Amino acid sequence: MCGIVAAAARREVSEILLEGLRRLEYRGYDSAGMALIDNEHNLQLHKQQGKVCELEKAQKLRPHLGCTGIAHTRWATHGEPSGVNAHPHISGQRIALVHNGIIENHMRLREELMAQGYEFASATDTEVVVHLLHRALEGGKSLLKAMQDTVGRLDGAYALAAIDVDHPDQVVAARKGSPLVIGIGIGENFLASDQLALRQVTDRFIFLEEGDVVLISPSTLQIFDQAGAPVERKKSLISEAVEVADLGGFDHYMLKEIHEQPRALAATFAQAANYPGIDECFGAGAGAVFDRVKAVQIVACGTSFHAGMVARYWLEELAGIPCQVEVASEFRYRKRVTHADTLLVTVSQSGETADSLAALRNAQPGEFVASLVVSNVANSSLVRDSDLVFLTKAGMEIGVASTKAFTTQLVGLLMLTVALGRRSSMSEQKQQDVLAALRGLPEYVQQTLELNDDIERLSEAFIPKHHALFLGRGIQYPIAMEGALKLKEISYIHAEAYPAGELKHGPLALVDDDMPVVAVAPSDDLLEKLKSNLEEVRSRGGELFVFADRQAGFKSEARVQVLPMPHCPEVIKPIVYTVALQLLSYHVALQKGTDVDKPRNLAKSVTVE
């Protein structure tokens, strides 16, 4: 999604800005731009639809130089992807501004500004902000005061950074609802929407808080809170090495990340080896919190929501702990009744998903015992705002389609089940069985990866299709949901998941000889029920693709293809079967020729509502 990089230095910063944008590229965007104040105090602007490398080409052809600048990658919300709608937006040839987020009252502000003679070049919500800033500056306000007044007029979410030719060595910025971090240099300061963009120039950061307005110059750094009072914010030193994005011989990041799962799962579970009590894997004080927990509320989006759905089966069946799961975009706006002693658990690969963050922040004081996040990104907003943290060790995930992040989330949630279960009805033996299954998990995932060629062959049948159904029962239903999401996300085939028992209540009407039906069918307690549901499909001409272990007793025959899965402990089957479905969607997408790693319209980190 949108990315911001800004610099106030005594050296030329265009290459720093471009490198910052490159580091944010994997998040998904459709246009890029950069504005600098040159030595003669003129505003220099490059912006266009397309990739950062196009911006780089433009910069090489017609270099813009300057020591103060802002840059942006845009993921369109208001107004189509185009050069005109790309950021920075400018006003009066003196101010340039970049914005992440959505200004909800932009229509009203646009009318107000147009009535005063402001002309709009773009269809964006952002352009009102730069004109508001211009109006305040022309009215004699300082750069800081102009930004404070401007944000006072805005409803919605924003991270903003702006430069003004009349204040040629300063960048003014503000945040509410979208992340923004200061990078502290020596004789220079920086801003970005993610510290990753600035690791090229510093390892010292200040994560801004809600409502903060900040003014940086090469030698100064001033932060003001929502009320306008100067504040000090905590400085953080981030010293772990930056992971370098590298295909490592694979054709796509998604395929690489699928194949990294044995290592990522082992690394995630290895945290338990350091903390045999498991509690400590969730941070200091986790044990005391867990002692009080009587129920769990999980909130997440997309694939992370599916991880929460799986966890509900584990928490209720293995630990006897009541658990509710809800998508964050609904949870955050719903009037709800929360049972006493409930633990709020957010699940988020990026730790920056706007709806999940809002769900956490909207929790009423005292509503939950504590908040816990399962995330893959240390220092992310959700990690910083939560009481307890489980960090998955998936490593950087570049592919928009989440793979290793999902399966490592499941490991974290199963470890949480054990941590809570040992305080309730989970026997010592059961706890040991689960931990032993987790220890063996990488090997079963490796065996599943070795089915790659069989899955590739099976995937061919999906190429001409426009629709697909995914079926599962019990804990495999969320895995069917995840399989359907993966397929639609990267192959653009419309796919829906149903708990197989629901088929006859409607979706069966869709089944004909043109409808592939994928069944997640390991041998388990619900297998016979699932088999009856699959017969309903067969007798209506549907073509079945069954992912099952030998013990389930399926045989390939006319209109039934069985993919023989490894037989593994029951509790880890959801994780192992997920891997096969990831490979299925990858191969379908590959043969359809879609952009596997950057599917259309999607972004890696969804920082807008």
Which CB, 66 or 308, lies closer to ligand AGP? 308
| CB-nearest residue to ligand AGP | 302
Which CB, 91 or 304, lies closer to ligand AGP? 304
Strand order in the sheet with 156-164: 89-91, 95-103, 156-164, 171-176, 213-216, 221-224, 230-231
CB of 503 to ligand AGP, least distance (A): 25
CB of 486 to ligand AGP, least distance (A): 7
Tokens of 141: 């306000």
Which CB, 14 or 407, lies closer to ligand AGP? 407
- Stretch 484-513: interaction string toward ligand AGP, x if CB under 6 A: -----x------------------------
Which CB, 356 or 371, lies closer to ligand AGP? 356
- Stretch 142-181: interaction string toward ligand AGP, x if CB under 6 A: ----------------------------------------
217 binds ligand AGP (CB under 6 A): no
Q: Which residue in 68, 73, 349, 585 binds ligand AGP (CB under 6 A)?
A: 349
CB of 270 to ligand AGP, least distance (A): 22
Q: Which residue in 178, 193, 348, 533 binds ligand AGP (CB under 6 A)?
A: 348
Q: Which residue in 44, 59, 217, 350 binds ligand AGP (CB under 6 A)?
A: 350
Only segment of 96-104, 334-342, 345-353, 496-504 that touches ligand AGP (CB under 6 A): 345-353
Closest Cα to residue 575, out of 418, 441, 394? Answer: 441
Q: Which residue in 148, 402, 448, 491 binds ligand AGP (CB under 6 A)?
A: 402
Name residues whose C-beta falls within 8 Å of residue 546's C-beta, 6 or more positions apart in sequence: 518, 519, 521, 534, 554, 560, 561, 562, 563
DSSP per-residue letters across 303-359: HHHHHHHHHHHHHHHTS---EEEEEHHHHTTS-----TTEEEEEEESSS--HHHHHH
Only segment of 47-55, 329-337, 342-350, 579-587 that touches ligand AGP (CB under 6 A): 342-350
Cα distances from 593 to residues 271, 486, 490, 514, 590, in angstroms, run: 39, 15, 10, 21, 5
Closest Cα to residue 326, out of 300, 344, 348, 359? Answer: 300
607 binds ligand AGP (CB under 6 A): no
Which alpha helices (H) appear in 25-173, and where do they start and end? 52-61, 106-115, 127-138, 143-152
CB of 349 to ligand AGP, least distance (A): 4
Tokens of 107: 């229509």
Number of residues forming the site for ligand AGP (CB under 6 A): 15
401 binds ligand AGP (CB under 6 A): yes
CB of 605 to ligand AGP, least distance (A): 6
Q: Which residue in 426, 606, 607, 608 binds ligand AGP (CB under 6 A)?
A: 606
Q: Which residue in 353, 386, 392, 491 binds ligand AGP (CB under 6 A)?
A: 353
Angle between helices 476-491 and 302-317 in degrees, nearest 10: 170
Which CB, 400 or 530, lies closer to ligand AGP? 400
Interaction with ligand AGP in 33-62: which residues (CB under 6 A)? none
Neighbours of 345 (CB within 10 A): 29
DSSP state of 241: P
**Beta strand pairing call for 3-8 and 43-49:** unpaired
CB of 303 to ligand AGP, least distance (A): 3
**Terminal Cα-to-Cα distance of the chain (whole angstroms):** 11
400 binds ligand AGP (CB under 6 A): yes
Q: Which residue in 302, 421, 478, 542 binds ligand AGP (CB under 6 A)?
A: 302
310 binds ligand AGP (CB under 6 A): no
410 binds ligand AGP (CB under 6 A): no
356 binds ligand AGP (CB under 6 A): yes
Beta bridge partners of 391: 375
Name residues whose C-beta falls within 8 Å of residue 482's C-beta, 6 or more positions apart in sequence: 303, 306, 406, 497, 578, 581
585 binds ligand AGP (CB under 6 A): no
Give the integer Cα–Cα distance in Å for 341 and 294. Answer: 5
Cα distances from 344 to residues 300, 351, 373, 381, 607, in angstroms, run: 11, 15, 8, 16, 21
Number of helical (H) and strand (E) elements in the chain, helices listed first: 18, 25
Q: Is 604 an annotated catalytic residue? A: yes
CB of 304 to ligand AGP, least distance (A): 4
Distance of CA 115 to the CA centre of its chain: 40
Whether the CB-CB separation of 85 and 94 falls below 8 Å is answered with no
Which CB, 6 or 197, lies closer to ligand AGP? 197
304 binds ligand AGP (CB under 6 A): yes
Whether the CB-CB separation of 489 and 400 falls below 8 Å is answered with yes
Give the integer Cα–Cα distance in Å for 200 and 39. Answer: 24
CB of 302 to ligand AGP, least distance (A): 2
Tokens of 79: 């107004």
Q: Which residue in 163, 172, 301, 360 binds ligand AGP (CB under 6 A)?
A: 301
Q: Is 2 an annotated catalytic residue? A: yes
Give catalytic residues, as residue numbers.
2, 604
Which stretches of the chain bind ligand AGP, using CB under 6 A? Answer: 301-304, 348-350, 353, 356, 400-402, 489, 605-606
